[in-house]
Amino acid sequence: MDQNKLTWSPFHKLHMMNAAAQFSSTMATMVTAGLPIVKALEVTANVVVLAGEGMVLAVCQVFPVKFAAGKVGFDVTLVLLATALSFLFLGHLEGVREGTVVAAICVGMVVKLVNKPLGRFAEKYLS
């Protein structure tokens, strides 16, 4: 959409409110995705996890990388790969927007915040 048409549109304020609502929803979903207690306990207790987290755990066990940093690196790598493949096969960016990038960067950070207290809990009660 042409930026000038959007600025002078009678719906400009509605478009801006919609964008803010979508971003807020994305942020809430990202925090929710990073906070599942069962997922964090699985990672903390070193039990079987989903494939994405399992790959990160395997890399973190082989290399001296903390899980949160490995998760961010893995997610960002997947976003970059999706972006490159989108341009390669479609000729334009499709399926990767700001929410995808924010989630790739922030979910690992949220997991880091959750895993700190859960690590102490696991040492005390699961060991």
* Helix (H) and strand (E) counts in the chain: 6, 0
How do residues 65-96 score in pLDDT, each as one tens digit?
A: 888 888 889 999 999 999 999 999 999 999 88
Answer whether 42's CB lies under 8 Å from 49's CB.
yes
Q: How far is 55 from 62, CA to CA, in rounded Å? A: 11
pTM value surpassing 0.75 = no
What token pair was written down for 7?
Answer: 């600025």
SS3 percent helix, strand, coil of the chain, rounded to 5, is 80, 0, 20
CB 26 within 8 A of CB 103: yes
- Alpha helix locations (H) across 35-97? 37-45, 51-62, 67-90
What tens digit of pLDDT does each residue of 7-54 get?
566 777 777 788 788 878 877 776 666 555 555 555 555 566 677 778
In 3D space, the residue among 66, 58, 57, 71 whose CA is nearest the CA of residue 104 turns out to be 71
